[in-house]
Structure 1
Amino acid sequence: MQLAFVLYKYFPFGGLQRDFMRIAQVCQARGHAIRVYTMIWEGEVPPGFEVIVAPVKALSNHKRNERFTAWVQADLAKRPVDRLVGFNKMPGLDVYYAADPCFEDKAQTLRNPLYRHFSRYRHFAEYERAVFSPAVGTDILMISDVQLPLFTKHYRTPLDRFHMLPPGISPDRRAPANAAEVRAAFRQEFKVADDELLLVQIGSGFITKGLDRSIRALAALPADMRSRTRLMVVGQDDAGSFQRLARSLGVAERVQFLKGRSDVPRFLLGADLLIHPAYNENTGTVLLEALVAGLPVLVTDVCGYAHYIEEADCGLVVPSPFTQTTLNKMLADMLNNPQLRQDWKTNALRFADQADLYSLPERAADVILGAAA
């Protein structure tokens, strides 16, 4: 079959983008042709992929999305495909990968009522309705059961159109046999002393991921612990406001910012704890990447995958409603208890051996390809 995948932007370090790539490559490995429509492509093009960067521009994101959709539909009219798979919400999809939360629910609960009178709201509401309306037949690949009741509440989407997927952690995230050697080499490279404690926060979108909360929690540590604790931040985003926050709290020299990179597994093995106090998060793939590497996790309960941290007993989950004081205390307690961190590591690695945290690409391909899989 000829498959077409469509997403607004591809770059190698985004969670949605990495899921897209692995799913498309599984479909390709099963003998199907891959075409990709996007507005931005960063990174290498896999062999055999036809990548089309649509030449569309606009002053606003929603206008650009509309022009992109029209351009793609015009190209598809000339060169039809057997399946159209979207990683962003838009009209005309056969299959939608639901990486983003329910827009309508956020618009009604988190926004001023006046917001719904603006063209931006109308665009995103219309594009979400084009996927979830009972009047269309789009199959929906769900990666978090937290969002499913919100979609059915607002759109009455038939349940048989939802396909719940297991996580899809890449095998290269698992702790290797030489994990101790990798950890030692990493800490030597980044000059992390044996008695220092290393926190990592990994992911693009620093505001949503709660980086401000992490910096405040670091600053709130007791002075002796703070002086030997470092925070490494890895991700694609503008760090300016967070660097200013760190300076204002007196911890600028304890926080290091690094761009998105491909050697994330080394950070997971070299660190002492992953901190992820997100404001909202549909899933939180990095939580499971840390889990399978044996790295304890401190995460807010709004993340779709936070329940795995509790099930594996490999860290702590900050309850809602969030308070900075609670996060501060949990972080200090975790850092102050090396034996408990070792127990969490043991629990995490045991859970990684037993649970299905890996087969998302294969299961997604099954749905996309249907009887042809």
Structure 2
Amino acid sequence: MQLAFCLYKYFPYGGLQRDFLRIALACQARGHAIRVYHLEWNGEVPPGFELVKVPASGWSSIRRYARFTRWVEADLARRPVDRVVGFNKMPGLDLYYAADPCFEDKARTLRKPLYRYSPRYRHFSAYERAVFAPESHTEILMISTTQQPLFAKYYGTPARRFHLLPPGIAADRRAPPNAAELRAQARARFASEFGLATDDFLLVQIGSDFPRKGLDRSIAALAALPEALKRRTRLVAIGADDARPFQERARALGVGERVHLPGGRDDVPRFLLGADLLLHPARHENTGTVLLEALVAGLPVLASAACGYAHYITDADAGLIVPQPFAQADLDAALARMLGDDAARAAWQANALAFADRSDLYSLPERAADLIVGKRG
């Protein structure tokens, strides 16, 4: 088969982008040809991929996205394919990978009514309806159970078009047999890079879009620790975003020297093994793949209940979840509790590794490929 994948932007540190790449590679491994339509591509190009940079310019994102759609439709008319798979909501898709939450729900619950008269609302609402309307033929690959009721509420999407995928945690995130040795090596490197002392606690937060991921909440929780804990705790936030306002916030709270924002990194597995705790107090998060990446590495997790994958942490008894509605005091107390109880952290680590061994947390790319090309490929 000739497959076409559509996504506006590719960069190697995005969760959606990583899922796209692994799904496309799984399809390619079954012998199918891969064409990718995009507006921006930052990173290596896998061998055999046909990358098509769509020449869609415009002063606003919605104008670029509309021109992207029209250009792709015209190119597909000239060069047809067997399946069109989208990782952003848009018309003309055979399958849509639903990594983003329901736009209509956010527009109606988080915005003022006047927003629904804006060009931005009209564009994204129409593109979401093109995927989820009852008359659409787009099959929907869901990665979380939390959003399906919202799409059904606003669009009446038939249940038969939703296909729930298992998580897709990459194999290199699992704790290897020599995890203790790799942890020691990582801690030695962090000592020189971040000034981490032997008995310091290392908190790690992973993911771009710092405001949505709640990095400000993590910094505030660090600053609120009892003084004895705060003196031996550092926070490293990994992600491609503007670090300046968060570094300024850390300095204002008196923890500027204990907060490190090194940008996007390729050595995330090293942090998962070398850290003492993953922080992820997101404001909204369809899944939160990093929660499971931490779990399979044996790293205890402190996250918000806004994450679609938060229930896995509860199921595994691998950390603590801050309930909704979010209260900063709850996060502060949970962080102090987790850092202050060595025995509990050891138990959470053991529980996480046991859960990772007995649960299917890995087969998302293969299951998605089944649905895209058929189980026989």
Are 1:209 and 2:218 counterparts?
Answer: no
Name the counterpart of 2:178.
178
Name the counterpart of 2:306.
302
Are 1:266 and 2:270 counterparts?
Answer: yes
Give secondary structure in 2 for the equivalent of 1:247. Answer: helix
Give secondary structure in 2 for the equivalent of 1:17. Answer: helix
Give secondary structure in 1 for the equivalent of 2:69. Answer: helix
Measured against aligned partners, the alpha-carbon deviations of 1:318-339 in whole angstroms (never above 9, x if no partner) come to: 0011100010000000000011
Are 1:121 and 2:121 counterparts?
Answer: yes
Q: What is the CA-CA distance between 1:371 and the residue it aligns to?
A: 6.1
Gaps in structure 2 of 5+ consecutive residues:
none
Q: What is the CA-CA distance between 1:97 and the residue it aligns to?
A: 0.1
CA distance in 2 between counterparts of 1:92 and 1:82 reads 13
Tell me the TM-score normalised to structure 1 length.
0.99
Aligned partner of 2:279 among 275, 282, 287: 275
Q: What is the CA-CA distance between 1:262 and the residue it aligns to?
A: 1.7
Pairing 1:123-272 to 2, within 5 Å after superposition: 123-191=123-191, 192-272=196-276
Give secondary structure in 2 for the equivalent of 1:288. Answer: helix
Q: What is the CA-CA distance between 1:177 and the residue it aligns to?
A: 1.0
Measured against aligned partners, the alpha-carbon deviations of 1:103-141 in whole angstroms (never above 9, x if no partner) come to: 001101110000000000000000000000011100000
State the one-letter code of the partner of 1:160.
Answer: R
Q: What is the CA-CA distance between 1:56 and the residue it aligns to?
A: 1.4
State the one-letter code of the partner of 2:121.
Answer: Y
CA distance in 2 between counterparts of 1:190 and 1:197 reads 11
Pairing 1:19-38 to 2, within 5 Å after superposition: 19-38=19-38
CA distance in 2 between counterparts of 1:258 and 1:284 reads 21
Measured against aligned partners, the alpha-carbon deviations of 1:293-346 in whole angstroms (never above 9, x if no partner) come to: 000000000100000000000000000111000100000000000110000000
State the one-letter code of the partner of 1:145.
Answer: T
CA change 1:166–1:371 in 2 (3 A) is: closer
CA distance in 2 between counterparts of 1:321 and 1:20 reads 32
Q: What is the CA-CA distance between 1:372 and the residue it aligns to?
A: 5.0
Q: CA RMSD in A?
A: 0.7
Measured against aligned partners, the alpha-carbon deviations of 1:38-72 in whole angstroms (never above 9, x if no partner) come to: 00001111011001111211111111100111111
Structure 1 moving runs of 4+ over 2 Å: 370-373
Pairing 1:94-113 to 2, within 5 Å after superposition: 94-113=94-113
CA distance in 1 between counterparts of 2:263 and 2:98 reads 26
CA distance in 1 between counterparts of 2:59 and 2:248 reads 29
Q: Percent identity?
A: 68
State the one-letter code of the partner of 2:53.
Answer: V
State the one-letter code of the partner of 2:307.
Answer: C
State the one-letter code of the partner of 1:250.
Answer: G
CA distance in 2 between counterparts of 1:311 and 1:371 reads 30
Tell me the TM-score normalised to structure 2 length.
0.98
CA distance in 2 between counterparts of 1:196 and 1:169 reads 28
CA distance in 2 between counterparts of 1:259 and 1:54 reads 28
Q: What is the CA-CA distance between 1:370 and the residue it aligns to?
A: 2.6
Measured against aligned partners, the alpha-carbon deviations of 1:218-239 in whole angstroms (never above 9, x if no partner) come to: 0000111101100001000001
Is the deviation greater in 333-342 or in 186-195?
186-195
Name the counterpart of 1:72.
72
Measured against aligned partners, the alpha-carbon deviations of 1:149-197 in whole angstroms (never above 9, x if no partner) come to: 0000000001000000000000110001111111111111111222100
State the one-letter code of the partner of 1:115.
Answer: Y
Are 1:86 and 2:78 counterparts?
Answer: no
Q: What is the CA-CA distance between 1:263 and the residue it aligns to?
A: 1.2
CA change 1:72–1:344 in 2 (3 A) is: same
State the one-letter code of the partner of 1:163.
Answer: H
- Count of paired positions: 373
State the one-letter code of the partner of 1:231.
Answer: L
CA distance in 2 between counterparts of 1:24 and 1:296 reads 31
State the one-letter code of the partner of 2:16.
Answer: L
Name the counterpart of 2:361.
357
State the one-letter code of the partner of 2:141.
Answer: L
Name the counterpart of 2:344.
340
CA distance in 1 between counterparts of 2:248 and 2:57 reads 33
Are 1:311 and 2:315 counterparts?
Answer: yes
Give secondary structure in 1 for the equivalent of 2:260. Answer: strand
